[in-house]
């Protein structure tokens, strides 16, 4: 949670600078605001993420296969069955959110339901259930919400700095604000990367052992990766990238450097090794 507190302080500092508060006061403002912001994000981050991705909760009559798979995998993992949501995008993918296993939601895109086989869907859901079981989803969800807020504040602050005028002292403050609006999102991306990468490997391993279908997860990752390379997601907030099983956004080489996910080929290599350890052939 230390990384999340740092993200919150970065967000509060940027907000303070945008409001015209000097640097020392901005730090004090950040410390003061980090606690209530932490509570706010803790309780409402899952609802915010569902809204950001336009995910819709569905019952068993609307998605019987999805519910059956989620129930089966959750039972094997020894956690309560999460709620189920469908994301209205053709890009195949999935994520989980919620502050605890009892409050969790597993969201699968329309594209994943259409493109993936039942075994592949089960393996992907196993990955998300593993995140839920190990309580990764709270951290990732909060990081996504905070990063989104930082991005919005940085955009606002940057344009405010560009169009502001004044005496020499005000110009100095404007320069600090402009630099902060550029650097803070980069620091936020680095923190998101540190939070997410190791957890993806762990969730892949969890899926392999929960479902005993590492080969299905390998083929699912390949299908999703190939689709994203051809048709990346364009309509959602990139701040949610750390939530998805594969980053659905493709950007510049600098953005790739700060990717929230390890390279897919490395994940596949690890899964093949896990499959051999399990005595399964690929």
Question: Whose CA is closest to 83, among 53, 104, 110, 113?
Answer: 104
Sole residue written with tokens 């405010």: 160
> What tens digit of pLDDT does each residue of 69-119 get?
999 999 999 999 999 999 999 999 999 998 889 999 999 999 999 999 999
Sole residue written with tokens 């949501």: 85
Residue 260: φ, ψ to 5°: -80, -10
Domain range annotation of the chain: 2-277
Burial class of residue 212 (count of CB atoms within 10 Å of its CB; 0-12, 13-18, 19+): middle
Helix (H, G, I), strand (E, B) or coil at 178: helix
> How is the beta sheet containing 105-109 ordered, strand by strand?
56-57, 83-87, 105-109, 94-97
- Say what the alpha-carbon torsion angle 59, 233, 135, 107 is, to the nearest 10 degrees: 10
Out of 62, 102, 120, 128, the active site residue is 128
pTM: 0.75
Strands (E), the chain: 56-57, 83-87, 94-97, 105-109
Whether 122 is a known active-site residue: answer no
- Is the model's pLDDT at 194 over the cut of 70? no
> What tens digit of pLDDT does each residue of 32-80 get?
555 666 667 677 778 888 998 999 999 999 999 999 999 999 999 999 9
Question: Whose CA is closest to 119, among 214, 201, 246?
Answer: 214
Which of 45 and 179 is assigned the larger pLDDT?
45
């Amino acid at each position: 949670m230390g990384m999340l507190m740092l993200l919150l302080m970065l967000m509060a500092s940027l907000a303070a600078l945008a409001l015209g508060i000097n640097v020392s006061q901005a730090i004090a403002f950040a410390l003061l605001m980090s606690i209530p912001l932490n509570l706010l994000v803790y309780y409402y981050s899952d609802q915010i993420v569902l809204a950001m991705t336009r995910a819709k909760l569905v019952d068993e009559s609307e998605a019987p296969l999805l519910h059956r798979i989620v129930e089966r995998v959750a039972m094997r993992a020894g956690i309560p069955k999460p709620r189920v949501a469908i994301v209205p995008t053709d890009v195949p993918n999935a994520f989980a959110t919620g502050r605890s296993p009892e409050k969790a939601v597993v969201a699968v895109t329309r594209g994943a339901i259409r493109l993936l086989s039942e075994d592949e869907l089960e393996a992907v859901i196993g990955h998300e259930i593993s995140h839920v079981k190990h309580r990764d989803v709270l951290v990732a969800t909060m990081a996504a919400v905070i990063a989104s807020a930082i991005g919005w504040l940085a955009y606002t602050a940057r344009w405010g700095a560009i169009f502001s005028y004044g005496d020499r002292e005000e110009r100095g403050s404007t320069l600090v604000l402009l630099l902060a609006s550029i650097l803070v999102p980069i620091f936020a991306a680095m923190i998101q990367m540190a939070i997410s990468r190791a957890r993806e490997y762990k969730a892949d391993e969890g899926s392999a052992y929960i479902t005993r279908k590492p080969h299905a997860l390998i083929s699912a990752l390949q299908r999703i990766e190939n689709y994203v390379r051809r048709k990346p997601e364009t309509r959602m907030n990139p701040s949610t990238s750390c939530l998805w099983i594969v980053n659905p956004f493709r950007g510049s080489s600098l953005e790739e450097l700060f990717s929230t996910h390890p390279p897919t080929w490395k994940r596949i290599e690890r899964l093949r090794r896990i499959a051999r350890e399990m005595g399964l052939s690929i």
